[in-house]
Structure 1
Amino acid sequence: MNAVQYAQNVADLFALPEGYLRVKELMDSDTASLDEVADVILLDPVLTSKLLKLANSAIYNLPYQVESVSKALLVLGKTQVYNLVLSIGISSACSKIDTSAIDLERFWEQSINAALIAKYLAQCCKIKPTDRFYVAGLLHNIGEMVVLQNNTDMARSCQDYSLDERPWQLQERLLGFSYAECGAELLHLWHLPDSIVEPVALQNSSRFDVKNKAQLIIHFAVRLALANQHPELYSTKQLIDPFVLELLDLTQPDIIRAIDFCNTEGLFILSVLNPRISTIY
């Protein structure tokens, strides 16, 4: 099977919840109120509890308890709520799949780190809005779930990357395509915009275009997240072409700050998605 067939096979099973789609629609609207968004969120007890947990977490250090979804929306802000709702939506979609064959902690850490780094780099490059970079980073490895649902043994084998064979190289050797390709096909079936699908599809490409900042940022973020997750295997110098730094006008201090940002923010997002996962920090 090719990448398209892999994605088509799971499109019906592996779908974003209706609640996420409705929240996204309201948050993209210029006329929807916070109360309308809150009403939709309240229909989902899991989403409600996780929003309240985050609003009351140490990251905000509020002198009072946040007891309503409307208040949580004010505390967190539109961008943070959007990012969290998407993260929970993806987590819900993944819950329909038997993930015992892969390291789920590694999958989520990689996804969240890439999302946060992509968001930070977009801010450094003064590109707005930054939401789409967070989303593309979060979904950059969703192809792993696609392959897992189609072929458990193959997904297990694709985890055995090494210093000499990077993840996307191993995937291409075993599957004939990368997770980036079949993941992008799934996102296309989800009707996500090209501004998100294209950077995911091109994340492994070494053909850089200074005009395509989105591809450059996701390419950079994915590799930086991988180096951050596996310092025993990879360094940033091994994974990141200096030419990409030059095209994005970024410096080594920017890299350090991006890693610090994802390590700090990632802890809270992971703790909301799965408290057990956050204990790895």
Structure 2
Amino acid sequence: MTATSTPNKTIDQLRDDRLAMLQDIARELEGDLVFPVCFDATIKISGIMKSPTASLQRIAQEIQHDPLITAKLLQLANSVAYNPSGSPVHDVAQAINRIGLDTARGVALGCAMQQLRSSAELAQFEDYSRTLWLHSLHTAAIAKVLARSLTRVNPELAQLAGLVHDLGAFYLLDRARNYPELLERPKTLQYLIAQWHESIGTIVLDNLALPEAVIDAVRENDVPRPTVETLRTLSDVVYVANLFAGGMEEVMLLDLPEPHQALELNLPCYLELKPAMEQACKELVGLW
């Protein structure tokens, strides 16, 4: 069912449109998932993939700018075909080493080309998708710093969880192109994404066969919880990283009974790591 645009829709009608969209998505999530993340990043990745002289390090560095391509390479590297011993890898360089550079090029380039074809239909949301993308990169970088500095959580796993924690938002943004009512009302679309991206994202990550620890860590990650004064789990790490990466903007779009104050943003144990967080963000984002 595809929603159609009408001049003056009631709140109930808009809610029905959103429900219809989510029902359609639930059926579509069973197939192979490819959707755009950031147009500029995809262009750069596709260029690197086509270069016969690009090193493994250079390829890995660029691929980790795209959470979907990263997830797809890890999915393949951790599959039974490439990982019969059941020893998972959590970073792109290890995944490429395992599956081979040629296979990695093929997977990454194929995904990037499909992403580019879809991106043209979402040009009006390019700024919004870029904001989501930068937030994902910052969350990934900060999560790695927090895990390495304050916990025994694997820093590479923390970076992966931070990178993919908003994949559901990119998926919803892509599917919105089938719903003119939402395209004409970008604020409504952003509200829908804030409300539903986590539940959709859990299904997306499961479809991509990411580690259960990652799926659990990003589940309800925007939902306020009691102040996290000590990081104990991967979920704690991603939650705090999300806040320091600007996650309160998403929280403000949730239907909360009262405004939430993220006290973590003022705790000394995290504030003393801010220089390291900022440096890690610069290094991961690179020249973007």
Contact 2:150 2:231 in 1 (8 A): no
Following superposition of structure 1 onto structure 2, how do residues 97-176 of structure 1 map, counting pairs within 5 Å? 97-98=118-119, 99-103=122-126, 104-152=129-177, 160=187, 171=191, 174=192
Alignment partner of 1:14: what SS?
coil
Measure how far apart 1:250 and its partner are: 2.3
Contact 1:3 1:185 in 2 (8 A): no
Measure how far apart 1:115 and its partner are: 1.0
Q: Distance in 2 between matches of 1:262 and 1:243?
A: 19
Q: 1:225 to 1:158 in 2, by over 3 A?
A: farther
**One-letter identity of the residue aligned with 1:220:** V
Measure how far apart 1:137 and its partner are: 0.9
Alignment partner of 1:192: what SS?
coil
What's 1:216 paired with? 236
- Per-residue displacement from partner, 1:162-215 (whole Å, max 9, x unpaired)? xxxxx9xx53xx468331221112112223232111222221121247686222
**One-letter identity of the residue aligned with 1:138:** L
Q: Distance in 2 between matches of 1:110 and 1:90?
A: 22
What's 1:194 paired with? 212
Q: 1:112 to 1:176 in 2, by over 3 A?
A: closer
Contact 1:144 1:183 in 2 (8 A): yes
Following superposition of structure 1 onto structure 2, how do residues 51-90 of structure 1 map, counting pairs within 5 Å? none
Aligned length: 211
Q: Can you give the 5+ residue segments of structure 2 that lack an aligned partner in the other structure?
A: 1-18, 35-67, 250-258
Within the alignment, does 1:242 sit opposite 2:263 as a pair?
Answer: yes
Q: Distance in 1 between matches of 2:224 and 2:138?
A: 21
Q: Distance in 1 between matches of 2:266 and 2:95?
A: 42
What's 1:14 paired with? 33
Q: Distance in 2 between matches of 1:13 and 1:128?
A: 30
Contact 2:153 2:234 in 1 (8 A): no
Within the alignment, does 1:40 sit opposite 2:100 as a pair?
Answer: yes
Measure how far apart 1:138 and its partner are: 0.9
Within the alignment, does 1:263 sit opposite 2:286 as a pair?
Answer: no
Identity level (%): 13
Alignment partner of 2:125: what SS?
coil
Measure how far apart 1:7 and its partner are: 4.7
- RMSD (Å), alpha carbons: 4.4
Within the alignment, does 1:182 sit opposite 2:200 as a pair?
Answer: yes
Q: Can you give the 5+ residue segments of structure 1 that lack an aligned partner in the other structure?
A: 48-84, 162-166, 230-237, 272-277
**One-letter identity of the residue aligned with 2:75:** L
Contact 1:14 1:96 in 2 (8 A): no
TM-score by length of 2: 0.56
Contact 2:240 2:264 in 1 (8 A): no
Q: 1:266 to 1:205 in 2, by over 3 A?
A: same
Contact 2:243 2:262 in 1 (8 A): no
Within the alignment, does 1:252 sit opposite 2:264 as a pair?
Answer: no
Q: Distance in 2 between matches of 1:227 and 1:207?
A: 13
**One-letter identity of the residue aligned with 1:126:** T
Contact 2:217 2:234 in 1 (8 A): yes
Measure how far apart 1:111 and its partner are: 1.6
Measure how far apart 1:91 and its partner are: 5.5
Q: Distance in 2 between matches of 1:185 and 1:31?
A: 20
- Per-residue displacement from partner, 1:104-124 (whole Å, max 9, x unpaired)? 432322221111111111111
